[in-house]
Amino acid sequence: MTDRANPVVANPWSSLRRFTDARIALGRAGSSLPTEAHLAFQLAHAQARDAVHLPLDADAVAAQLHARGLESVRLHSAAPDRLIYLKRPDLGRRLNDNSQALLADRAGALGAGVDVVFVIADGLSARAIHENAIPLLDCILPELSSAGWRVGPIPIVTQGRVAIGDEIGERLKAEILVVLIGERPGLSSPDSLGVYLTHGPRVGKTDADRNCLSNVRVAGLSHATAAHKLRYLLEESRRRALSGVSLKEDADEVPRVVGAGEAANFLLPTGAA
């Protein structure tokens, strides 16, 4: 019989929910989802929609870079506003006229090319940029500086898609381009950052020419682990002068000790995550 005080029938796998944000073992109330699970789904959907429409705070990102002694340059795609950006992906893949002129001036002042250029673009989740771009750069840039890499100025692009980095990297004469971009929000990941690496960036490159690290966020691929994998890709891309499907991410895993009160991942060996 159904308990009138608690009509929810629990799922026997409910203990696994502490290991994942995925919607598993939600239980049921009659033939439907429990009210709590239904409301949580609606909240996640609203958060995903908000992430898509949240404006990029480029001023704040530039200020954080400046505080670290890093030079940035503000750029804009050919999509004049968010509505057109969402309807016309092609416009998000190229710079507008003012940004082309600004970048040409910056490239002239820069002179010789650089080893790597990091581009920050809002993509489909400015929230992902606000929460993850600077922490990831904090992990990777000191390592590259210590290894003698020449890092170019950091463009901050509003209404940008991944491919807009190809034009930027080509104009700045970068050997390798790394685009940090907000990924399409999932129903449990409105803050997910994508990292795209391209060797020899130029207009016309395809996704087959890129390597991608996905789901970079506190609840996903950690900033430290993403920086470790990115460092491997950067070194191999420069050594082998390629990227994309010909370059595999075979970096060693980063050992991680589970802290007090933190659940281990039951799919991985003890001491790893």
Q: How does pLDDT run across 186-224, given as a tens digit for each residue? A: 888 899 999 999 999 999 999 999 999 999 999 899 999
* pLDDT grade for 4, boundaries at 50, 70 and 90: low
Q: Which of these, 197, 188, 257, lies nearest to 218 by C-alpha position? A: 188
Q: Is 142 helix (H, G, I), strand (E, B) or coil?
A: helix
Q: What angle do CA 214, 219, 220 make, to 5 degrees?
A: 25
What are the structure tokens assigned to 210, written together? Answer: 């890129």
What are the structure tokens assigned to 6, written together? Answer: 């608690």
Structural contact between residues 27 and 9, judged by C-beta atoms closer than 8 angstroms = yes
Cβ neighbors of 15 (< 8 A, separation 6 or more) are: 25
Residue spans per domain, the chain: 57-246
Q: What is the pLDDT of residues 102-158, one digit of tens each?
A: 999 988 888 778 999 999 999 999 999 999 999 999 999 999 999 999 999 999 999
Structure pTM? 0.84
Q: Which of these, 132, 128, 224, 121, lies nearest to 169 by C-alpha position? A: 121
What are the structure tokens assigned to 144, written together? Answer: 């590259």
Q: Does 39 score more than 80 pLDDT? A: yes
Class of domain 57-246: alpha beta
Cβ neighbors of 184 (< 8 A, separation 6 or more) are: 123, 124, 125
In the block, which residue shows the tokens 């404006």?
55
Beta-ladder partners of 181: 121, 194
